[in-house]
Amino acid sequence: MSGRHSRPSRGSVVSGSPAKSVSRTARKARLMAAVAAIAMALVLMASWPWVSRWPPWQGSPRDLEPRGADDGLPAQDAPSPKESSGGLWEYPFPAQLTEDLLYRDLEQLSARIVGDFPDRPDAVAVAAMERMFRGKSGEAAEFWKRAASLDPKYPEAHFGLAQIARQRGDFEEAARLARQAWTLDPGHDEAARFLADTLLNLGEADEAIRVLETNLRANPRSAVSFYLLGQAHLQNQAFREARDAFQRAVTLSPRYTHAYYGLSVASERLGDAQSARSHREKFNALKEQEQSTARESVRNPKDLPLLRRGAATIYATAGDVYHRQGKPGAAEAIWKRGALCDPKGLRCREALARFYERRLRPADALVLYEELRAIAPENPEYELGVAQQQMRLDRTSEAEKGLLALCQRLPHWSRPAAALAQLYLHTGRGREETLRWAQKAVELEPVAAHYFLLGLVLDQGGHREQALAALRRAVELEPDNQPCREAYESLRNRP
């Protein structure tokens, strides 16, 4: 999705009949059209990726370009994946995956995408990622340079070259290239974190702090940035600031092992022996769990957990490229391949979930959201996704139960409140209750989509002047939003 807050779907009919006396059937038809508009608006409200706005997963990959590949594409089933793929999808993903089979699959994908889009820097970047994944840093560097020559302002090319420079021990060059990537894209959380970590290795704690504080203004839920900020303050022997930064890291990511070690060190330096001991015990417990998992992986090498995770990143990115280039069928096939590759991976499942959501395939989307919820139950975005698909499948009791639980668990999050108002409007629940949740959504986040929803709820309840005021505010917030403007003008001109 391309914006922080979404708009009601374009082309939706949200206005009523100009006649004063409207039949019950006509009123219901108008209401259903309005609800459909809200449904699409609230689907679009989620500013993806989730991981950037909720407790971040350490080292989570970043898309090569801002997400939003679905924007502007028709809401319909995708065409066949053979549309632009040659023989790439004509064989199943290996059931018994080995390292060689995985590398071969990725190599074919890399060759295919560069062949299909030779002049696209993001396509060339997939080939660079694939070479880096297989340890061929020299070939990867050539692809990154090619991507940079296609678009000198493409930040991922400079970031990729920065990683290669650091691999060969050239921290000064790595910092220069990472700084260039971050300058081109100030919201690039991974580039900022990489730059800060490189600066810490160079002993430049003050600059690292400036980078991290700037990045946290753009990415306030970046647990890794808080962890690195704690490390920088430790270097400067600012132990109280270090402790506070490490605490923010574990608040955002409760299983952040090394942040607990940082907390123990900072607490010890501050003379708080009890807290230091508690944090060290937590660190040791998490570390033992990680080592146990690693030992299990060695005993079961066919699982290839680390390789699967890294490969899934490449599948996800390649799918994004095909989708941006108007090849949704190929994109879907690649994302499915990535989901099979990493049974616990989030990114390809997220892409598939929103792909099906945009194409009005709620049953398929629900399966993905349920998988995501099972993999990462601490992320409420997935619970919200489950409830929204249940709404579209008329499983209203289940949806209501999930949304109420979310509102109770996260009372300051606007989207469950907006979804409840939408649900009650659709089902004809009591007007006071519907209005209460619509007002709550506006109170928590006064954006155009919420004022649009509030306007429809007020209009449905017969409060014309208040509805006009809400829709007028939606137009003021997003003057170019045609559906909001049409709804406002229609209501204003209605006798």
Q: How many CA atoms lie within 13 A of 422 on its CB side?
A: 33
Q: Inform me whether the pLDDT recorded for 17 exceeds 90.
A: no
pLDDT in the model for residue 71: 39
pLDDT in the model for residue 290: 80
Q: Which domains does the chain have, with CATH numbers?
A: 1-54+379-495 (1.25.40.10), 81-305 (1.25.40.10)
Q: What's the pLDDT tens digit per position in 420-439? A: 999 999 888 788 999 999 99
Helices 99-116, 305-324: crossing angle, 10 deg rounding: 20
Report, as an integer, the average pLDDT of 363-380: 95
Report, as an integer, the average pLDDT of 283-301: 70
Give the confidence band of 89 by pLDDT, cuts at 50, 70, 90.
low
467/454 Cα distance (integer angstroms):
7
Q: Inform me whether the pLDDT recorded for 91 exceeds 90.
A: no
pLDDT in the model for residue 44: 37
Q: For tokens 């146990």, what's the residue? A: 292
157/146 Cα distance (integer angstroms):
8
Give the confidence band of 173 by pLDDT, cuts at 50, 70, 90.
very high
Tokens describing residue 310: 């890294």
For the chain, percent of residues with pLDDT exceeding 90: 71
Compute CA distances 258 → 188, 254, 266, 280, 383, whole Å: 23, 11, 12, 10, 28
What phi and psi, each to the nearest 5 degrees, are found at residue 397?
-65, -45
Q: Inform me whether the pLDDT recorded for 132 exceeds 60.
A: yes
Report, as an integer, the average pLDDT of 367-383: 94
Q: Between the ranges 139-148, 295-304, 306-315, where is the mean pLDDT highest?
A: 139-148
Give the confidence band of 88 by pLDDT, cuts at 50, 70, 90.
low
110/483 Cα distance (integer angstroms):
41
The distance of Cα 188 from the centroid of its chain, to the nearest Å, equals 13
Give the confidence band of 4 by pLDDT, cuts at 50, 70, 90.
very low
Q: Which of 32, 5, 46 is nearest to 387 (CA)?
A: 46
71/52 Cα distance (integer angstroms):
19
Q: How does the average pLDDT of the chain come out, rounded?
A: 83
Q: Inform me whether the pLDDT recorded for 9 exceeds 50.
A: no
